[in-house]
Amino acid sequence: MATSLCPCQSGKCFADCCAPVLAGELSATNAETLMRSRYTAFTLGDEGYLLRSWHPSTRPGSLDLNAEPLPKWIGLQVRQHVQTGENSAIVEFVARYRVGGRAQRLHETSRFRRENGQWLYVDGDIGD
């Protein structure tokens, strides 16, 4: 997978995009980078990374990424990334996936906060 395109659809090779962030070798440089890495973590089933990149004030105790039916993530479109303060930002995105052969989409405006130099996912509002 290291030489294939990154699932976050940045157009970059996985090894040069989300892989170093997921491995903890690099920190996300902004909220959009973190959001893209989280999308990639969902495609890979990386629960540990998703929990580590979630703000402690809203982080669940666990995730069930193996719940049936399993979604197959098939695309990501970032609609906007807005820095709302020195240490806060929002990212609006649409993630497409398939469940049981049916196409679905998740439209969310997510809130992020930077603490101690690390961007963290706080929460989001689901759109239509």
If one counts every other C-beta atom within 10 angstroms of the C-beta of residue 117, the result is 7
Among candidates 71, 83, 73, which has minimal Cα distance to 34?
83
Per DSSP, the three-state class of 86 is coil
- Predicted local distance difference test score (pLDDT) of residue 67: 76
Q: Are 114 and 101 in contact (CB under 8 A)?
A: no
Averaged pLDDT, 12-20: 95
Query: What's this model's pTM, rounded to 2 decimal places?
Result: 0.93
Q: Are 40 and 9 in contact (CB under 8 A)?
A: no
φ/ψ (deg, to 5) at 40: -60, -40
Q: Which long-range contacts (CB under 8 A, 24 or more apart) does 78-81 make?
A: 78/32, 78/35, 78/36, 81/30, 81/31, 81/32, 81/35
Domain-wise residue ranges, the chain: 14-61+68-126
Q: According to the CATH classification, is domain 14-61+68-126 in 3.40.50.2300?
A: no
- Predicted local distance difference test score (pLDDT) of residue 70: 82
Q: How far apart are CA 48 and CA 26, in angstroms?
A: 16
The kind and range of the H/E element at 68 are: none
Q: 2 pLDDT band (50/70/90 cuts)? A: low
- pLDDT tens digit sequence for 26-77: 999 999 999 999 999 999 999 999 999 999 999 999 888 887 788 899 999 9
- Average pLDDT of the chain is 93
